[in-house]
Structure 1
């Protein structure tokens, strides 16, 4: 379950029911949330594992409690920073989450990224299309981000193929690194919820801005504004996805767009 796409309580519950094949008589516009929970409670099939990816994107994290209370479902929550998730849920759910098993995934280091890239080059490209040195350069430029590393390799291979090159040249690699970063950035922007997109546009148009001024401008642009705390969560998420940059302490912090010069260069 992609919680960035299914960020409301209704969307999350509906998508789970849809995956279970239980949405035939559910109307998106008129069915109450509680009826969706009741429908899940009636599920009598095999115990189901629900994986909530980007769970900190949920606008109403109480849906986690809804699911946690149903014995028919086992829940796996994936988030970038668990403390930010805990800060948005009530104490009863925090207690349950803290007592659950936790698995921490650290950033990849260069050797691990090289191994990932080497395997893909071995099975996806002809021999000698790319050198080990170039794979290490990709790993270094990606700075622990496997998605970016794989994106650079894929883009470079596609570009070499279009240009009828037998090998990936260093110039192709440089262009691919820039293109892959731009593609990932645009994908992240396209994934923003409507309220997050308003916040992003405010930072883009008026940077640098502090969180209070961002929230003031945001409340002028939307009909149903979220709280200052929620907007700070939006900003934190954008920092994690390298869309905006935060400078200063919590008292005098300012946000601005991440420029291309902030990316780790391809040496």
Structure 2
């Protein structure tokens, strides 16, 4: 029977990847670069579109939201909209999300014409708007970027994994409008950087002494430069220790928490897949390993309104980026299979 002990978690919010800290650890160069890009807003001018590129779990979303929060401290009149294009992947959904963020979405229904949404957003020009579009490479109707770029009071911060994959999804009109934007590139965190990030989370979210630097370094090593995984392992370990009635994380608690956290992250990501992505994922899981032609054929039989092969390739690429599946071999001999939890 576990003995009673004090709670070890002070602020559970800090143990989640979407928490935006009041101060960032590392990535100061990225913050400065994005801040400089958005600086024209302070002079009532429009900044260039900002692109944040890099693999999953390297702080792109956190830095975007943190930097825009800092901007709002200097310019309280600026309004902000955060849109996750993995979930809001159509023109209607993106326009609606931005309108909702600036309190202009009243009386909008599914039958409301998209041009009416654009007109409303065009009329909402009394104050500048900064729209952060996360997972923008998941947009299926990229013309909405052309819409937003046309509005002089809307500034864009676009987040994606790779530039070449993102621009390949654009038509010529969108590509020509956005080509000149500012790029901020993010690389994987080093072990020391990740330890510092986890240490700051521990200071803010946990009682003193719950986790020591040696354990944080073990977590950082296991996370391999991915802060999302590192924070997930820390959260899993602390909760496991708390359930056991322990006042600090032990070696055996941490050892058990590493695979558990990876499984939990993967499960959460799978749950976020949209319908057609989930069909592809399930087909790969059922087959064990499958080549693209066979996968596309099985997919077309499984759905009523199949997407184009180009969209399917985009789906598969995104699932590779999120370590749900892996592509084995070169183009002609390529196959897809699920990533093992271990």
2:309 corresponding residue in structure 1: 228
The equivalent position to 1:6 in structure 2, one of 84, 88, 100, is 88
Deviation at residue 80 of structure 1 after TM alignment: 0.8
2:158 corresponding residue in structure 1: 77
1:18 corresponding residue in structure 2: 100
- The count of corresponding residues between Structure 1 and Structure 2 is 260
Q: Which runs of 5+ in 1 are unaligned?
A: 262-267
Q: Is the 8 A contact 1:2 1:53 kept in 2?
A: yes
The equivalent position to 1:27 in structure 2, one of 89, 109, 128, is 109
Deviation at residue 167 of structure 1 after TM alignment: 2.1
Q: Is the 8 A contact 2:291 2:336 kept in 1?
A: yes
Deviation at residue 128 of structure 1 after TM alignment: 3.1
Q: Is the 8 A contact 2:325 2:336 kept in 1?
A: yes
Q: Provide the aligned C-alpha RMSD in A.
A: 1.2
Q: Equivalents in 1 of 2:102, 2:208: separation in Å?
A: 44
Instruction: Note if 1:205 corresponds to 2:286.
Output: yes
Instruction: Note if 1:193 corresponds to 2:261.
Output: no
Deviation at residue 146 of structure 1 after TM alignment: 0.2
2:48 corresponding residue in structure 1: none
TM-score by length of 2: 0.74
The equivalent position to 2:238 in structure 1, one of 157, 163, 186, is 157
Q: Which runs of 5+ in 2 are unaligned?
A: 1-82
Q: Deviations over 1:59-89 (max 9, x none)?
A: 1111111111111200110001121110011
1:40-79 to 2 correspondences below 5 Å: 40-79=121-160
Q: Equivalents in 2 of 1:215, 1:9: separation in Å?
A: 26
- Report the more deviating stretch, 191-200 or 129-138: 129-138
Instruction: Note if 1:95 corresponds to 2:190.
Output: no
Q: Equivalents in 2 of 1:34, 1:251: separation in Å?
A: 43
TM-score by length of 1: 0.94
Q: Deviations over 1:23-79 (max 9, x none)?
A: 222111x11222211221121220100000010111111111111111120011000
Q: Equivalents in 1 of 2:202, 2:177: separation in Å?
A: 43
Deviation at residue 256 of structure 1 after TM alignment: 0.3
Q: Deviations over 1:84-120 (max 9, x none)?
A: 1100111232223221111111111101000011122
Any idea what SS the aligned residue of 1:50 has?
Answer: strand
2:197 corresponding residue in structure 1: 116
Deviation at residue 14 of structure 1 after TM alignment: 1.0
Q: Equivalents in 2 of 1:8, 1:95: separation in Å?
A: 21
Q: Equivalents in 1 of 2:205, 2:113: separation in Å?
A: 48
Any idea what SS the aligned residue of 1:171 has?
Answer: helix
Any idea what SS the aligned residue of 2:295 has?
Answer: helix
1:140 corresponding residue in structure 2: 221
Q: Is the 8 A contact 1:211 1:232 kept in 2?
A: no
Q: Deviations over 1:228-247 (max 9, x none)?
A: 11101101100000000110
